Structure 1
């Protein structure tokens, strides 16, 4: 099938209209004319699950919007997003991830230059303006490895980034699924090229069911719907017509005294839900359950439900009942924005009975977004019998962790640096170790000092910054550990740990670039970073998590237990452009009896976080 062209893109006016539909029309496509697609569900039986199911990665064509030509994508099981895998807790599943991809990479990669005084071109369709086509992407082979995000499984089954396979080969993996009910997801994780492989379409959802969830009698069947949210850009031809081809267009900015180029993470003008641009869904006037996944490369969505006619936010109808790692203890009202960063999941209930006969829009409330629409809901006018009642308690088994309720544990500090540190023009992720002040020169590169809430100054020296630096984090199987992520400036980073669920203990303010003792050119602090007080932990972040947003000027403390599996795993920023350019590091979990004989056994870092 050859690429076709259709629908010329109109030039945006200098002052965009305020109406969301008009803003969407500026992007050349009409919103809300295509129905939401729901991926098929795979529910393997016991024998089938142990024997192993086959999921083929194939090259296929899909229609992202009825006004577009077909788009070539890489898909699991021929579907974009891939089939939703559904299993019961404790039932082991074996999957053969078969690479059956053919042809050239379906993504065009383009780096655009920003004109002086002009708005960023990334929210505009096509390659408009000056820039550079990254020819190397077109030459990439279909080299893939699947990671089930959130899964507690051995290191050999986790989808190690360098263990990707070429077409004709198979990645075999096993998932014990011994986990509370939750929504995981699976996606490609190939070293250095995850941003383009996921962009090509390699993503899908993975649900675990258990008895506690069953007892809630939550909306199910047609009334439980996955919402896989992504943003994309599309290429245009010489006449400005949309070709339907996926376009990974990023912005090249200027940074530092030397004016070095730095590539920004991807954001795009088109919002897709389940592979459809600005879809609509017909719903009945009753309760629905939505399994929300942000599968975007870098965009954080600030989701809000509004009346389509007036734009007034809906109140009293939206409730969050779960986060990345499972059900929350109690329902959290969703009258305010629900912020969901890349790779975060939310379990959300909506009472459409309160909104009978109305048309609603799910929007991204971020004011920087040119086209805020996400999707539309059309609520039926008929009354519908619905026995569901929102319970006051969602998860009776949930226990909130505190410093005092967890046994003695290791403390680790990870510093997230803004671009420009010591000649690297991408953000970095530094592993830090506390050292006596007399052992290092102050100030110097790779040294950070922090003055905590009690006034004590602690000194930290960088021990690793790149993926291939020496292994630093050796973890005893079964141990609890506290990890503190300190964002020294730049943008917010969604930090993800493989293997482990954690809870957020605390958030603390610290100075961030540009008004900070941290010096980009030096790559260290010229004076201690002063504790600026605590920040609240939102109710939605007080459940079990495996991704946490770390804004600039915050230290976020999380704690979890590394149990259930051993082996080599990774942690990283889940902005895909960041993990591909250096914000990813390994860690190893080993039995404590074995670790006694290891030549680099772990020692305490002595960091109390604040």
Structure 2
């Protein structure tokens, strides 16, 4: 098996901390002649053989109180009809778990019950990202069962028990129900959580969030969708029922036996750089939709609504819809929503395409009446191993479709603008994301920054970052604060407070940053074309970072409400939101699960403003 060139380029880029790359090209870029499709490995599995599975739907509605029990169970799941069944950890025996649907404003109580048993059903190994052990092909052993040079079992992974805690990603709920990463439970226990659902219609999702092992438990199968419905959405008459389809996209690797045949067992195969020990996030050669490898879906010649979620550990999907001729009309697809709800109006897909990073969601409408009798492929163009995701098979007949694309979607939407719809009274926080090998740390790191007025006499100095403010041109000096999850909490916010988060990406592959407890909008994206001012060896700037340039442009679809934002190399992102729905201690983190588990996660606190006044007069000693 050859080690694909794209894969090697990706790994080298990620480890060395140069420009981050993502899999893909465009989703419905302007029509153009298709380039020849290169042969790609299928590892013995027939593409588009199996139908897409649709997860069952739980719609809890009671007279007084909505409440359900969702049980975590061991299950054997067929990921492809040509594979043996795969042992997985699941919610209610399904991968992904049931889609939970709730009405906005109706409180839901869930007993997340852990009935799992045994150890985690996967094999976890580290492999050097060089030949003869490519990281993105099935299997990891020699035919005689021995380990190739440089390949190691990940210490302790095989003994992991079912220690779980559920986080409903995007839900605005009090901290006791948010899935605090340390509050995991062993089998025989239930996590009792309450979700007020006082938020607009939006595609949320739920997954395990246990400290240090989220990458393994989600990979083993613990995820599912959670949809909030409201009257504003209902009035639009969007495609529904069989014409509204969740697409939970993920990737996996599988083990092989001594003959090289796929066994169906999950293989968590993490590449690393032997020289430095730097770990590279895990991706797999098999792309799954709703738990099926390369499925197909038979569709009618009419509009469909797709709720698309990237549930992969680290893989980025840049989606493209192509037919046999490689030409698809640009107006056949519209983006109508993102993580936090509906857009104000349908958005065209930009020529550069729509990249979904882990945990991001988009709400798509596709008009299949344009493609009667044709087959379309959803692909991730430029993927590191395999671009194909799934196939749509359109019926060969005309059909009356009552749906008409509305010109306006969310009338409640308000675009946030710094200083106007974001009030003058707001808090700013600064977070730096650093590449591997900063001051001897082999993996990417994250620092909370505190501005200081007494800069050191000499630069570079460890933990000191100087920025040139793009609004004033003045140099601002920041000192590294908390970096590890268990360092002292330093971000405290009032309930009802507006906060602008400044994410400074100072090198390496992109980071999808997720903030719990509220929804946010992207205010600005600026880019440093030169990062040489940051000295890797010292861990500080040798001179002030220059003024970043404006851009890339914020596309119409990116202006929607979101909870996860892609920070690409050299970008200074600002996102704004208001913590008006919940109180307690929450988390923010990179949603590449390997980065989250290895240190790119920190807590913050939201509390009533009255409590803050007491704290300021000799309470806990914390300061805003």
Short-chain TM bin: over 0.9
TM-score w.r.t. structure 2 length? Answer: 0.90
Task: Work out the CA distance in 2 between the residues paired with 1:19 and 1:111.
Answer: 35
Q: Is the 8 A contact 1:314 1:335 kept in 2?
A: no
Judged with a 3 Å threshold, the aligned counterparts in structure 2 of structure 1 residues 113 and 169 are, in CA distance, closer, same or farther, namely same
Q: Is the 8 A contact 1:304 1:313 kept in 2?
A: no
The 5 Å alignment of 1:142-541 reads 142-254=162-274, 259-307=275-323, 309-334=324-349, 336=351, 337-365=353-381, 367-405=382-420, 406-407=422-423, 408-438=425-455, 442-453=459-470, 454-511=472-529, 515-535=531-551, 536-541=553-558
Match for residue 66 of structure 1?
81
TM-score w.r.t. structure 1 length? Answer: 0.92
Q: Is the 8 A contact 1:267 1:298 kept in 2?
A: yes
Q: 1:138 aligns with which of 154, 158, 179?
A: 158
Q: 2:122 aligns with which of 107, 119, 129?
A: 107
Q: 3-state SS of the aligned residue for 1:197?
A: helix
Q: Which runs of 5 or more residues in structure 1 are unaligned? A: 1-10, 604-610
Q: 3-state SS of the aligned residue for 2:273?
A: strand
Judged with a 3 Å threshold, the aligned counterparts in structure 2 of structure 1 residues 85 and 368 are, in CA distance, closer, same or farther, namely closer
Cα deviations across residues 83-108 of structure 1 (Å, max 9, x unaligned)? 00001100000000000001221111
Q: Which runs of 5 or more residues in structure 2 are unaligned? A: 7-34, 142-147
Q: 2:97 aligns with which of 42, 64, 82?
A: 82
The structural deviation recorded for 1:600 is 3.7
Judged with a 3 Å threshold, the aligned counterparts in structure 2 of structure 1 residues 411 and 13 are, in CA distance, closer, same or farther, namely closer
Match for residue 608 of structure 1?
none
Q: Is the 8 A contact 1:320 1:349 kept in 2?
A: yes
The structural deviation recorded for 1:316 is 1.8
The structural deviation recorded for 1:20 is 5.3
Q: 3-state SS of the aligned residue for 1:402?
A: coil
The structural deviation recorded for 1:511 is 4.4
The structural deviation recorded for 1:49 is 4.5
Q: Is the 8 A contact 1:230 1:273 kept in 2?
A: yes
Cα deviations across residues 364-390 of structure 1 (Å, max 9, x unaligned)? 02x252210000000001111111111
Q: Is the 8 A contact 1:315 1:335 kept in 2?
A: no
Match for residue 123 of structure 1?
136
Task: Work out the CA distance in 1 between the residues paired with 2:306 and 2:132.
Answer: 35
Q: 2:581 aligns with which of 535, 548, 564?
A: 564
The structural deviation recorded for 1:476 is 0.6
Task: Work out the CA distance in 1 between the residues paired with 2:608 and 2:330.
Answer: 50
The structural deviation recorded for 1:343 is 0.2
